[in-house]
Amino acid sequence: MISLGRDDEQPAAPGDARTAELAQRLGAVRRRIETAIDASGRTELPRLIVVTKFHPAADVRRLAALGVTDVGENRDQEAAAKSADLADIALQWHFIGQLQSNKAKSVAKYASSVQSIDRLQLVDALAKAIAREQDATGRSDLDCFIQVGLDDDAGSHRGGASPSDVEVIAGRIESAPGLQLSGLMAVAPLGADPEAAFEKLAGISEALRAKHPTATGISAGMSQDLEAAVKFGATHLRIGSDILGSRPAVG
Ligand SMILES: *Cc1c(COP(=O)(O)O)cnc(C)c1O
């Protein structure tokens, strides 16, 4: 066999069938975002974070070849392995899942943002880990989003700090060198109207910005509800299944 100098583990050839599928799905999502932006009267496109959890590094490589610059992951072990595999390409890795404080050190090695900050203890752990990483490698500051819970009823809880705790967490982030307060992240409660949820989030964001004017980020909107998120000011969208397909079952 003639070697073409390409590792079989890393196909990402522009012509392969999976790349074509991803290109088509990514294009469809981009058109949905543009349509939603036009309908909202906004002019600036939100940042698209493609959520690649449970999908292989080869798919992330294909997406990068299609112009994707931002990827989201929700488990440290998986994100650490994929970002190491793909260290040769410039990607921003966003951590969007529940995070134990003892994983802060690992996340500090690859994440450009952590979007799921929900408690003071995690802020302190990240501050310490980033300080150490900055000493060792000179890495950039970590963009920090406070995840806020939007459900009124505890039965449908999908994580996040209570809105009344946002201000104290924001203050702690702002006082930590190496951490930048970017804004808020939320997941619409299951079974609830996403527009109502994201309208509530916009209100919480307005209150945050009154005290922290640069914390303008609103990370909201997934495959099912990106239009509602755009309507209520999302600056970051986190889209997984509509681009990558359904997630492979985990054994
Ligand atoms: C998985 C996940 C997403 C992406 O959801 P899709 O419905 O697959 O688009 C977004 N945000 C968070 C926090 C997630 O865990």
| Helix, strand counts (H, E) of the chain | 9, 8
The answer to whether 190 and 156 are in contact (CB under 8 A) is: yes
Give dist(CA 161, CA 10) in Å, integer.
Answer: 39
Ligand 1, pocket-test mutation among 96, 148, 198, 247, most atoms within 8 A of CB: 96
Residue nearest to atom 10 of ligand 1 (CA): 238
Give dist(CA 39, CA 107) in Å, integer.
Answer: 37
Q: Is 219 in the pocket of ligand 1 (CB under 6 A)?
A: no
Q: Is 187 in the pocket of ligand 1 (CB under 6 A)?
A: yes
Q: Write out the two tokens for 95.
A: 């951590």
Give dist(CA 196, CA 251) in Å, integer.
Answer: 36
Residue nearest to atom 13 of ligand 1 (CA): 96
What is the structure's pLDDT at 4?
43
Q: Is 237 in the pocket of ligand 1 (CB under 6 A)?
A: no
Q: Is 238 in the pocket of ligand 1 (CB under 6 A)?
A: yes
Give dist(CA 2, CA 227) in Å, integer.
Answer: 49
- C-alpha torsion angle, residues 13, 14, 20, 26 (rounded to 10): 110
Ligand 1, pocket-test mutation among 33, 52, 71, 74, most atoms within 8 A of CB: 74
* pTM of the predicted protein model: 0.92
Q: Is 223 in the pocket of ligand 1 (CB under 6 A)?
A: yes
Burial of 56 (0-12, 13-18, 19+ CB in 10 A): middle
Q: pLDDT tens per residue, the chain (251 residues)?
A: 444 444 444 555 557 999 999 999 999 999 999 999 999 999 999 999 999 999 999 999 999 999 999 999 999 999 999 999 999 999 999 999 999 999 999 999 999 999 999 999 999 999 999 999 999 999 999 999 999 999 876 555 668 999 999 999 999 999 999 999 999 999 999 989 999 999 999 999 999 999 999 999 999 999 999 999 999 999 999 999 999 998 776 54
Q: Which amino acid is at 124?
A: D
Nearest CA to 60 among 101, 103, 26, 107? 26
Tell me how far the alpha carbon of residue 242 lies from the centroid of ligand 1, in angstroms.
Answer: 10
Tell me how far the alpha carbon of residue 182 lies from the centroid of ligand 1, in angstroms.
Answer: 19
Q: Is 188 in the pocket of ligand 1 (CB under 6 A)?
A: no
Q: Is 239 in the pocket of ligand 1 (CB under 6 A)?
A: yes
- In the three-class reduction of DSSP (H, G, I as helix; E, B as strand; rest coil), residue 218 is classed as strand
In the chain, what are the domains? 17-244 (3.20.20.10)
Q: What per-residue string of b and e applies to 172-183 under the rule 16 or more CB within 10 Å gives b?
A: bbbebebbbbbb
